[in-house]
């Protein structure tokens, strides 16, 4: 399976998106006590490793490949979620 196919499949995975939405909410709640970027970075790695090892990758996909492409897809999804959060915050304020 090509890297682009894996990437696109991971971008549309609802479980991955749900975990990353929970990550954004958790990072927003812990921002006053912790740096916001430490939980986000750890969460990106956690989700990228969790899904291939718990659910299992496809037999044709190497687990290492799934994790590495998962890091990129998680960063992409998270960038969209954080941009949406910023836009929502700006709209709510003014």
In whole angstroms, give the CA distance from residue 6 to residue 25.
26
pLDDT of residue 46: 94
Cα 52 to Cα 62: distance, rounded to the nearest angstrom: 9
Q: Which residue has the tokens 């954004």?
A: 24
- Tens digits of pLDDT across the chain (94 residues): 788 998 999 999 999 999 999 999 888 887 677 778 888 999 999 999 998 888 765 667 888 999 999 999 999 999 999 999 899 989 988 6
Parse the chain into domains and list their residue ranges.
3-93
Residues with Cβ < 8 Å from 50, sequence gap 6 or more? 19
> What's the whole-model pTM score?
0.86
């Amino acid at each position: 399976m090509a890297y682009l196919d894996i990437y696109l499949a991971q971008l549309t995975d609802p479980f991955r998106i749900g975990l990353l939405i929970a990550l954004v909410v958790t990072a927003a709640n812990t921002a006053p006590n912790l740096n916001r970027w430490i939980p986000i970075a750890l969460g990106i790695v956690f989700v990228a490793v969790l899904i291939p090892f718990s659910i299992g990758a496809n037999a044709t996909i190497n687990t290492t490949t799934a994790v590495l492409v998962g890091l990129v897809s998680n960063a992409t999804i998270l960038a969209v979620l954080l941009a949406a959060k910023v836009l929502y915050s700006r709209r709510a304020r003014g």
